[in-house]
């Protein structure tokens, strides 16, 4: 048929082009040969070095650690409704180009562009099984494997494949969505190759090697350096990522990054990319975080964290000036929840926590991470600045409630949560230095509509649907009005560090 080219002929055509290129190179070499020394030139005329092939090479390290790196394959049952909810999400077709610059998770199921399979239109059924893949690494001879939570989240079946092609069924021992760490177990093995999580954090500028399963290719090695440490990418309350410039792509998620001593210094988990491919900015969870989480998952199957019961936000330059602070440092308490350790200890809205057990608190994220790494039941001395005066408040930590319990506490305390947008809010009037208008964003779900559109903690929402807001009820009323008009998005006017801007937030059927 005219205009039709078979797959086999396309392959032959590409192959022919490659062969033609090879011939071109050969001809070029032949022409240039008349200017080069003959092949039987004296040995002393050749340029040589005294270095062995192994010097200035990562080959020895790679040879030792690669057997412990695995490909992780999962199967997940997905129905049409769940797939449809992703249609206007980060990987949807209607996302503006600038949104593509936000941090993108990788290692999920989908096509070359990272998109979920499209569900059939106009139906509720259409359930199907989706196959996804990522990376992981073995940390003990008896088969414990570490990977990302988002790689195995919701999996009905998990398989791991070693570099020598052996396949094993793995059991999910436990996961921690807050740090994106998951622990798997290969049963019945006692002699598997394994690698160690490093006890020493890397320095900026250190060489690192990433090994994983990008795009399902398996056994791929890339190298680079540590570009930065302590990165906050908005993924969660305990962000403390290592930034590396080794090439990391979709499918590397959950794979290890090694130092030159062969120890794991981090686990790859996210990239910044306008297209989903590598642009030299990747993030790894530090080994000390992975180790702490894995130890708890191995012992109990879950992670218990300390909890004081406050909503906090960063201290910006403007807030510091309003609070009478000499510099924007510490964590501002936006709200104290009732019947929590903070309330019992006497913490108040407007307090600035500057130290924990005598160690300086850099910002709100730093406070969250410090408290989250402590065990429930621990006694903590918080240095607090209140009305320009410094005091010490002793708090006994309790266990961080699960999401359902935490939501009920917030509702009991006046209700600050907007689940359909992934936001927790407080009236601006109740937060010192936030002004008199609008509601302050005190916490953002990075996977929610608001987080994906760039709204951050400390932003102030002024209008919702064209109407000024001053309370949670006003925000919910504005959202309800937009849905009643069958709008797919609600328009908000938001004030942040970059000034005032309008943000359109998609309204999904999962809104609660």
CATH number, position 163: 2.40.10.120
Whether residue 280 sits in one domain with residue 197: yes
Let me know whether 71 and 198 are in one domain.
yes
Buried b or exposed e, range 418-441, using 16+ CB within 10 angstroms: bebbbbbbbbbeebbbbeebbbbb
If one compares 359 and 120, the residue with the highest pLDDT of the two is 359
What is the phi-psi region of residue 72: left when phi exceeds 0, alpha when psi lies from -120 to 50, beta otherwise? Answer: beta
Nearest residue to 224 via CA among 279, 163, 148, 291: 279
Q: Which of 380, 382, 384, 324 is nearest to 351 (CA)?
A: 384
Same structural domain, 370 and 449:
no
With respect to residue 193, please indicate whether it lies within any of the assigned structural domains.
Answer: yes
Q: Is residue 37 part of a domain?
A: no
Q: Is residue 103 part of a domain?
A: yes
How do residues 324-356 score in pLDDT, each as one tens digit? 788 888 988 877 888 899 999 999 888 899 999
Which residues carry out catalysis? 150, 180, 253
Average pLDDT over residues 88-96: 32
Instruction: Tally the C-alpha atoms within 13 A of residue 501's C-alpha that lie toward its C-beta.
Output: 12
pLDDT tens for each residue of 457-480: 888 998 888 788 988 888 888 888
Q: What is the Cα–Cα distance from 63 to 67, expressed in whole angstroms?
A: 8
**344/49 Cα distance (integer angstroms):** 72
Residue 327, in any domain of the structure? yes
Tokens of 187: 């049963």
pLDDT band at residue 447 under the 50/70/90 scheme: confident
Residues whose CB is less than 8 angstroms from the CB of residue 232 and which lie 6 or more positions away in sequence, other chains included: 239, 240, 241, 365
The reply to whether 87 falls in a domain is yes
Domain boundary among 353, 374, 399: 399
Is the same domain home to 364 and 425?
Answer: no
Across the chain, mean pLDDT equals 76
Comparison of pLDDT for 251 and 96, the residue scoring more = 251
Rounded Cα distance between 92 and 89, Å, is 5
User: What's the rounded mean pLDDT across residues 69-92?
Assistant: 59
User: Same structural domain for residues 267 and 379?
Assistant: no
Question: 3-state DSSP helix/strand/coil percent for the chain, to nearest 5?
Answer: 25, 30, 45
Model confidence at 41: pLDDT above 50: no
C-alpha span between 178 and 250 (Å, rounded): 21
Question: Does residue 229 sit in the same domain as residue 172?
Answer: yes
Please tell me the pTM assigned to this model: 0.62
The enclosing H or E element of 413 equals none
Cβ-based neighbour number of residue 15 at 10 Å = 10
Q: What is the pLDDT of residues 282-338, one digit of tens each?
A: 999 999 999 999 999 999 998 888 889 887 888 888 778 777 788 888 988 877 888
Q: For the domain that residue 332 is a member of, what is the CATH number? A: 2.30.42.10
- CB contact burial 162-193 (16+ within 10 A = b; e otherwise): bbeeeebebebbbbbebbbbbbbbbeeeeebb
Beta bridge partners of 75: 131, 157
Range of the domain at 456: 416-506
The beta strand positions in 50-92, using DSSP E, are 69-78
Same domain, 177 and 282: yes
Indicate whether 316 and 441 sit together in one domain. Answer: no
Q: Is residue 5 part of a domain?
A: no
* Other CB atoms within 10 Å distance of the CB of residue 263: 17
Q: How many domains does the structure of the chain reveal? A: 3
Residues 163-175: what's their mean pLDDT?
Answer: 94
Q: Quick one: 194 and 242 in the same domain?
A: yes
Give yes or no: residues 361 and 458 share one domain: no
pLDDT in tens, 390-439: 999 999 999 887 644 444 444 444 445 565 677 888 888 776 666 778 88
In a domain, 41, yes or no: no
- What's the average model confidence in pLDDT over 83-92? 33
In a domain, 179, yes or no: yes
Q: Identify the pLDDT of residue 417.
A: 58
3-state secondary structure labels for all residues of 115-146: CCCCCCCCCCCCCEEEEEEEEEEECCCCCEEE
What is the predicted pLDDT for the residue at 60? 93
Question: Could you count the other beta carbons within 10 Å of the beta carbon of residue 204?
Answer: 12
CA pseudo-torsion sign 460, 463, 468, 472: negative
If one compares 54 and 88, the residue with the highest pLDDT of the two is 54
489: helix, strand or coil = strand
From 343, 371, 399, the end of a domain falls on: 399
Domain end call among 245, 276, 302: 302
Pairwise CA distance, residues 276 & 101, whole Å: 9
- Alpha-carbon 346 to chain mean position: 34
Residue 32 pLDDT > 70, yes or no? no
- The residue among 112, 108, 53 whose CA lies nearest residue 76 is 108
**Token representation of residue 304:** 């218990």
CA distance 22 to 25: 5
């Amino acid at each position: 048929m005219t205009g039709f080219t078979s797959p086999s002929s396309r392959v032959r055509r590409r192959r022919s082009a490659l062969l033609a290129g090879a011939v071109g190179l050969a001809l070029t070499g032949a022409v240039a040969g008349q200017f080069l020394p003959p092949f039987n030139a004296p040995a002393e005329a050749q340029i040589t070095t005294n270095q062995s092939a192994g010097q200035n090479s990562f080959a020895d390290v790679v040879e030792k650690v690669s057997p412990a790196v695995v490909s992780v394959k999962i199967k997940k049952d997905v129905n049409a409704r769940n797939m449809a909810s992703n249609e206007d999400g980060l990987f949807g077709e209607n996302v503006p180009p600038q949104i593509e610059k936000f941090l993108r998770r990788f290692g999920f199921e989908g096509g070359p562009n990272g998109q979920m399979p499209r569900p059939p239109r106009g139906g509720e059924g259409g359930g199907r099984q989706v196959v996804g893949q990522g990376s992981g690494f073995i940390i003990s001879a008896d088969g414990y494997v570490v990977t990302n939570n988002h790689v195995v989240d919701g999996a009905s079946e998990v398989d791991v494949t070693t570099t020598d092609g052996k396949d094993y069924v793995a059991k999910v021992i436990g996961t921690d969505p807050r740090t994106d760490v998951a622990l798997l177990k290969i049963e019945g093995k006692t002699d598997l190759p394994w690698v160690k999580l490093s006890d020493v954090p890397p320095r900026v500028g250190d060489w690192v090697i990433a090994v994983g399963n990008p795009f399902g290719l398996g056994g791929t090695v890339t190298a680079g350096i540590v570009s930065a440490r302590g990165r906050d990418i908005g993924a969660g309350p305990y962000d403390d990522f290592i930034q590396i410039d080794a090439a990391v792509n979709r499918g590397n998620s959950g794979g290890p990054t090694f130092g030159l001593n062969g120890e794991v210094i981090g686990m790859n988990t996210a990239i910044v990319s306008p297209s989903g491919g590598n642009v030299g900015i990747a993030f790894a969870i530090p080994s000390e975080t992975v180790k702490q989480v894995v130890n708890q998952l191995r012992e109990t199957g879950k992670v218990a964290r300390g909890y004081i019961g406050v909503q906090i936000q960063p201290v910006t330059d403007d807030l510091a000036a309003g609070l009478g602070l000499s510099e924007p440092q510490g964590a501002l308490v936006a709200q104290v929840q009732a019947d929590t350790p903070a309330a019992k200890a006497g913490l108040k809205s407007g307090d600035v926590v500057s130290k924990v057990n005598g160690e300086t608190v850099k910002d709100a994220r730093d406070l969250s991470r410090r408290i989250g790494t402590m065990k429930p039941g621990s006694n903590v001395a918080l240095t607090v600045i209140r009305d320009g005066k410094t005091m010490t408040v002793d708090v006994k930590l309790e266990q961080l409630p699960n999401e359902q319990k935490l939501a009920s506490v917030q509702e009991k305390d006046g209700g600050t949560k907007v689940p359909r947008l992934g936001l927790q809010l407080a009236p601006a009037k109740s937060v010192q230095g936030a002004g008199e208008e609008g509601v302050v964003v005190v916490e953002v779900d990075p996977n929610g509509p608001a987080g994906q559109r760039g709204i951050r903690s400390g932003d102030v929402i002024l209008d919702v649907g064209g109407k000024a807001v001053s309370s949670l009820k006003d925000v919910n009323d504005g959202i309800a009005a937009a849905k009643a008009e069958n709008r797919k998005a609600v328009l908000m006017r938001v004030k942040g560090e970059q000034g005032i801007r309008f943000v359109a937030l998609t309204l999904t059927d999962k809104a609660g």
